[in-house]
């Protein structure tokens, strides 16, 4: 599978591993996209998750909390890349204490990239029920936000694609 073939570029893809993961990474780089490889193994709480994300995404200033993560990962202007971003994730299995918090960030982040029309693809190796539930909850929030009178046009849930 290639970046062009993934079809839904503003989606969270679950169950992406092995050769498909490597092909996505190579294809994203070929298209000038930035690639972020995250491994959540061993991250046990939100504070550690926030610190890890700050390091991996090289935030330009100190931050705290998951709201800051949403805001900054929705921007990434300090990298100067307008070709898109691919986030590859390992270690977000159902037994992880932070996996649900982590994946629930992405509907909001993807919605913001979608309004900018800059590809943002999230490919997660795992595909457990806990991840699916966390994404469903975050998408419900985005759907409600999209119905608000002051919502930006197009605001709403993002696609979640589960690969076999």
* CATH number of the domain to which 21 belongs: 3.40.50
Residue 6: is its pLDDT beyond 60?
A: no
- Could you count the other beta carbons within 10 Å of the beta carbon of residue 129? 8
Q: Report residue 11: phi and psi, to 5°.
A: -140, 160
Residues 96-112: tens digit of each pLDDT: 989 999 999 999 999 99
Domain that holds residue 145: 4-162
Angle in degrees, CA 138, 141, 142, rounded to 5: 90
Chain-wide mean pLDDT for the chain? 90
pLDDT value at position 154?
Answer: 80
Residues 12-61: tens digit of each pLDDT: 999 998 888 998 899 999 999 999 999 999 999 999 999 999 999 999 99
| Overall number of domains in the chain | 1
């Amino acid at each position: 599978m290639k970046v062009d073939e993934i079809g839904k570029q503003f989606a969270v893809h679950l169950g992406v591993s092995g050769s498909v993961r490597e092909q996505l990474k190579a294809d994203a780089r070929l298209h000038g996209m930035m690639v972020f490889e995250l491994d959540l193994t061993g991250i046990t709480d939100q504070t550690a998750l926030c610190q890890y994300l700050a390091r991996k995404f090289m935030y330009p200033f100190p931050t705290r909390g998951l709201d800051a993560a949403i805001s900054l990962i929705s921007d990434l202007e300090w990298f100067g890349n307008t070709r898109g971003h691919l986030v590859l994730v390992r270690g977000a299995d159902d037994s992880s204490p932070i996996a649900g918090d982590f994946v629930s960030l992405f509907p909001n982040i993807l919605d913001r990239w979608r309004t900018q029309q800059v590809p943002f693809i999230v490919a997660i190796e795992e595909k457990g029920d806990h991840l699916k539930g966390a994404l469903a909850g975050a998408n419900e929030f985005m759907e409600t936000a999209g119905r608000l009178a002051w919502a930006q046009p197009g605001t709403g849930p993002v696609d979640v694609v589960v690969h076999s």
